[in-house]
Amino acid sequence: MFPFSRRKHTNFLKYIDSINSSVMDYMISSIKSILFSCLALLVNLPVHGQSEGKMNGSLAETGVYLKNLHADWQPPGQEVDLHSVDIREFRFGFSNVSIEHLKGIENQVSKVKISGPDLSLKQLTIHSKINSADWITDEKIKRLKKRESIPKHSIETIASAIDLYMVDHNVLPASINDLSVKQYIDMEDPPLNDYSWSYSLALPDQIIAQPTQINPVPKTKSIYFDWQSRSFQMDPVQDSLYQVPMVIWDYKFEIQEISHLFSSAIDLELSPDQTGFDIILNRGQFKISNITFTATPGAELDNQSRIHLPELNLETNGVVLNGNLNSQPIIHKGRGNFRIRNFEIKIPNGLREEPEIQSLLETLGIWNNALKIRLFELDLNLINEFTGDVGFKLHTPFLKVTITGDFTLRQTGSRPDLILHRTEVKIHPIALGVRKWIRDWEKKNGKILTRQGATIVLRIEGSINDPMIQGF
């Protein structure tokens, strides 16, 4: 067994923590919306001086309903740009509302049962045609400049050193080694200490930078600096990137359905100095079905970018909490689940050919330009005010991750702190490229991750913001 090691601000765990916070924020914001809706109803109840009283009320249903909404517009002075929005159906409202209100001399007590706020949206479509720069080409240019920034900076450093060498020796250096030995350059200083590039002199014609075997993108082309003109030579293919005209982009964003449902019971106690509440959220659900976004440059379907999410679901069940409007509420128990299925991003061919992206996709074993997440699921179960259990699943064609464990919740301050106990992480690399990347990482860092067969097994204890990891 390996000893525990502390890795402060581990990126993956911070990401899980952000999802956990999103679930918590969703629960609290939903509860607040219900609470303020109830307060709005209570504010309008009749008050008769300081006398005691009782009131009951009910409401079967109320809300807003829209059907077949359409709007389109064209910006002034734009002959091509056109935008439109369509909504087949929109509903927002409350139902099955019942209120029992008791007013005493010193305070007021209310019991409220309510279904809502409920939201339903069906077939939302936002469509835009915009005449603009080709962002795929812009991205390729940006990546090209980033790849060339280190070797070009190095060549400029070498060129300045050659000038000094000529002043002292009245002759051009024969090689990079001449400049190094005579201390006109130091190969240990940045940017020359980046060994993913090597440099050679072909004076009086050129200074040449070539990618080495350890270059993250070994297919990167060599860079040539013309000594006579003191300028970098432009590759014809690269030069063509700067000549691409404007493109009419066709953007389309569609959501088949959004639903947002709640069922809850609320007890309120109003007094002159504070407002206390107890809330039982029997069930809350936020669900989105079939989100699709496409961006197509002109008629180039091969360069279409596409994002598709068939299902996003966030549920809470059996949540019990109390507090007052002047402080953070305390959650006593409840369950939350966040789930995404079959999320897919299609990369346009123009970007697929970029060396960095091509290398990443090959490592992940992706050959169809589509990055897919089959399942992303986080499940939180708060057993009582202090303890609970957590489960997490990530399934992709190239990697599987599962997390199971217990946690302690400290509900103090503005943000709860999650402390993990007996938490096990299993990472199963599927793609050969991912397995090789992990092995290379182990060699580079002098570590051997604990395994059960081909599955990496880690154990985590402590705060999610500063965990101790065993087997790492």
* pLDDT above 90 for 60: no
* pLDDT above 80 for 313: yes
Is residue 156 located within the same domain as residue 219? yes
How confident is the model over 38-63, as a mean pLDDT? 61
Predicted confidence at residue 242, as pLDDT, reads 72
Is residue 315 located within the same domain as residue 442? yes
Parallel, antiparallel, or unpaired: how do β-strands 231-232 and 108-132 relate? unpaired
Q: Which H/E stretch holds residue 430? A: none
Is residue 128 located within the same domain as residue 153? no
**What are the tens digits of pLDDT across the range 377-416?**
999 999 988 889 999 999 999 999 999 999 888 877 667 7
Higher-pLDDT residue of 247 and 106 is: 247
Is residue 312 located within the same domain as residue 440? yes
Residue 53 included in any domain: no
Instruction: Choose one of 241, 269, 291: the last residue of a domain.
Output: 241
Contact call for residues 334 and 383 (beta carbons, < 8 A) = no
Is residue 357 located within the same domain as residue 253? yes
* pLDDT above 60 for 259: yes
**What are the tens digits of pLDDT across the range 181-194?**
989 999 888 888 88
Angle subtended at Cα 14 by Cα 459 and Cα 10, rounded to the nearest 5 degrees? 55
Residue 141 included in any domain: yes
Angle subtended at Cα 105 by Cα 100 and Cα 109, rounded to the nearest 5 degrees? 25
Instruction: Choose one of 203, 226, 241: the last residue of a domain.
Output: 241
Is residue 203 located within the same domain as residue 270? no
pTM, whole model, 2 decimals?
0.73
Structure-block tokens of residue 393: 């699943």
Burial of 417 (0-12, 13-18, 19+ CB in 10 A): middle
How many structural domains compose the chain? 2
Query: What interhelical angle do 432-445 and 355-364 show, nearest 10?
Result: 100
Residue 395 included in any domain: yes
In angstroms, what is the C-alpha Rg of the chain?
31
Residue 52 included in any domain: no
* pLDDT above 70 for 158: yes
How confident is the model over 197-213, as a mean pLDDT? 91
3-class secondary-structure state, position 390: strand
Q: What percent of the chain has pLDDT over 70?
A: 82
420 vs 99: CA distance, rounded Å: 41
Residue 51 included in any domain: no
Residue 332 included in any domain: yes
Amino acid symbol at 165: Y
**What are the tens digits of pLDDT across the range 373-382?**
999 999 999 9
Residue 14 included in any domain: yes
Predicted confidence at residue 21, as pLDDT, reads 55
Is residue 328 located within the same domain as residue 432? yes
Alpha carbon separation from 39 to 33, 44, 109, 267, 269 (Å, rounded)? 10, 9, 12, 11, 11
113 vs 41: CA distance, rounded Å: 12
**Lowest mean pLDDT segment, chosen from 63-72, 197-206, 243-252:** 243-252
3-class secondary-structure state, position 120: strand
Structure-block tokens of residue 14: 């911070």
Q: Which H/E stretch holds residue 238? A: helix 236-241
Q: Within 13 A of 301's CA, how many CA atoms are on the CB side?
A: 0
Domain extent for 360:
4-46+59-134+246-470
Residue 118, C-beta contacts closer than 8 angstroms, at least 6 positions apart: 63, 91, 92, 93, 94, 95, 259, 260, 261, 262
**Comparing C-alpha atoms, which of 106, 98, 100 is closest to residue 52?**
106
Instruction: Choose one of 241, 271, 302: the last residue of a domain.
Output: 241
Q: Which H/E stretch holds residue 229? A: none
Residue 54 included in any domain: no
**What are the tens digits of pLDDT across the range 418-466?**
888 889 999 999 988 899 889 988 888 888 888 888 899 999 888 878 8
Parallel, antiparallel, or unpaired: how do β-strands 451-452 and 417-429 relate? unpaired
Is residue 310 located within the same domain as residue 271? yes
**What are the tens digits of pLDDT across the range 215-232?**
877 677 889 999 999 999
Contact call for residues 405 and 334 (beta carbons, < 8 A) = no
Q: How confident is the model at residue 270 (pLDDT cuts 50, 70, 90)?
A: low
Is residue 158 located within the same domain as residue 289? no
Q: How confident is the model at residue 163 (pLDDT cuts 50, 70, 90)?
A: very high
Is residue 141 located within the same domain as residue 274? no
* pLDDT above 80 for 176: yes
Is residue 369 located within the same domain as residue 455? yes
Is residue 129 located within the same domain as residue 147? no
> Where are any strands of DSSP class E within 77-229?
82-103, 108-132, 197-202, 206-211, 223-226
Predicted confidence at residue 32, as pLDDT, reads 53
